[in-house]
Structure 1
Amino acid sequence: MTEKYHRWYSPNLNTHLEMLVFGDRGFPVILFPTTRGRYHQNKDFGLIESAKWFIDEGLVKIYCPDTIDDRSWYDKGIHPADRARNYTWYDKMLVNELVPWAMHETGVGQVAMAGCSFGGYHAANFAFKHPEKVAHLFSMGGAFDIKMFTDGHYDDNIFYNNPVDYLPGGNQHELWQMNIILGTSEHDICKDYNIQLSNILAQKNINHWLDIRPFAHHDWPIWKEMFPHYLSTIK
């Protein structure tokens, strides 16, 4: 399994970012870490190993970037408006830097977005904001209402980064073409968020799979079962 390390200067964020990339060809998958996790977290906790067969067979190429959780939603030292504004710049980085990079390297015109826990939020938010760029969404144990991090403040940047608020009004035709999987489990602390998002999608007649696994908790063992299963749905 090939692994490459990248570090680059992001003009959108005015800082350097780091990333690991696994594989040398295949469908591009952008895989986010969990809360405050670094670019190497999904490797460290075995999620990449669970996808080894797909990588070795050249079916997927997985990009594991840093996030800016500590400078956005989790930064209690700045005003919520600044948290949301910083995250909007992160979204611009994904749109203008990382996603075009992955598409160019693989020669594929869309990407898959994936992540566990808060990584599921990153994946879902990008997919629903930019469905023309996303063919597959794999969220595992995600939560999708960012207002829990905004201390009662609300503005346009919060609205447009909060899927449960903007998705009901979404009308891009690609939403109805996306392969959407919301993975959760019987004892997942985020199960209700997944049911809520599933209900929004169902009200819009957007096809998706709400995968509620029995007995499991909000933790890596079930995510390592889910991830290769979901990758198998990429056509």
Structure 2
Amino acid sequence: MTEQYHKWYSHNLGLDVEMLVFGDRGYPVILFPTSQGRYFQNKDEGLIQAVEWFVNEGLVKIFCPESFDWLTWYNKGVHPAERARNYNFYDKMLYEELAPWAMHETGVSKVATAGCSFGGYHAANFALKHPDRVGHMFSMSGAFDVKQFMDGVYTDDVFYNNPMDYLPGSNRPELWHMNIILGAAEHDICRWDNDHLSNILGQKNINHWLDIRGIGEHDWPMWRAMFPHYLSTIK
């Protein structure tokens, strides 16, 4: 399995971005780390190895960027409103820099997004906010409500980065053509988030799969089982 390390200066973030890329062709998949995880976390935890066959067969090319959670929602050193503003810069980096790069490298017109736990939030928020860029979204035990990080502060930047809030009013036609999978365990600590987001999607008649597994926990063994299953749905 080919592996490449990339580092570039993001004009949106004003910071360097580090990333690992696995594979040399196939559908581009942007895979986010869990809470405050680094760009190499998904490799270290065996998630990349779990889908090695898909990479080696040229079915997918996986891009693993930094999350910058320390700058955004987990940044307790700044005012909550600044945490949300900083996330907008991260979102612009993904939209204007990383997603176009991944599409250009693979010759595919959209990307897939994926992630576990809080990485599932990044995957879902980017996909649901920018369905023009995303054809598939795979969240594994995702947590989707960022108001928990805001100490009671609520701004437009929070609203437009909180799928639970903006999705009910979104009528982007691409949402009805996206392959959406929400995976969780029956007793997952994020089960409620997945049930809630599924209910919103269902009320809008947006096709999706809520995959609730009776055996498994909010941890890497279940996610390593889910991820290859979900990648197999990419057409």
TM-score by length of 2: 0.99
1:215 deviates by: 2.3
Q: Which runs of 4+ in 1 moved over 3 A?
A: none
Q: Which residue of 2 aligns with 1:30?
A: 30
Q: Which residue of 1 aligns with 2:185?
A: 185
Q: Secondary structure at the match of 1:71?
A: coil
Aligned pairs for 1:49-198 (under 5 A) are: 49-198=49-198
1:187 deviates by: 2.0
1:144 deviates by: 0.7
Q: Secondary structure at the match of 1:132?
A: coil
1:44 deviates by: 0.0
Q: Secondary structure at the match of 1:211?
A: strand
Deviations 1:66-105 (A, max 9, x none): 0110011001111010000000000000011000000000
- The one-letter amino acid paired with 2:218 is H
Q: Which residue of 2 aligns with 1:47?
A: 47
Matches of 2:78 and 2:161 in 1, distance apart? 18
Aligned residues: 235
Matches of 1:32 and 1:138 in 2, distance apart? 11
1:212 deviates by: 0.2
TM-score by length of 1: 0.99
Matches of 2:52 and 2:65 in 1, distance apart? 18
Matches of 1:19 and 1:102 in 2, distance apart? 12
Matches of 2:104 and 2:206 in 1, distance apart? 29
1:151 deviates by: 0.4
Structure 2's unaligned 5+ residue stretches are none
1:166 deviates by: 0.1
Q: Secondary structure at the match of 1:115?
A: strand
1:186 deviates by: 1.2
Q: Secondary structure at the match of 2:196?
A: helix
- The one-letter amino acid paired with 2:28 is P
State percent identity of aligned pairs: 71
Structure 1's unaligned 5+ residue stretches are none
RMSD: 0.4
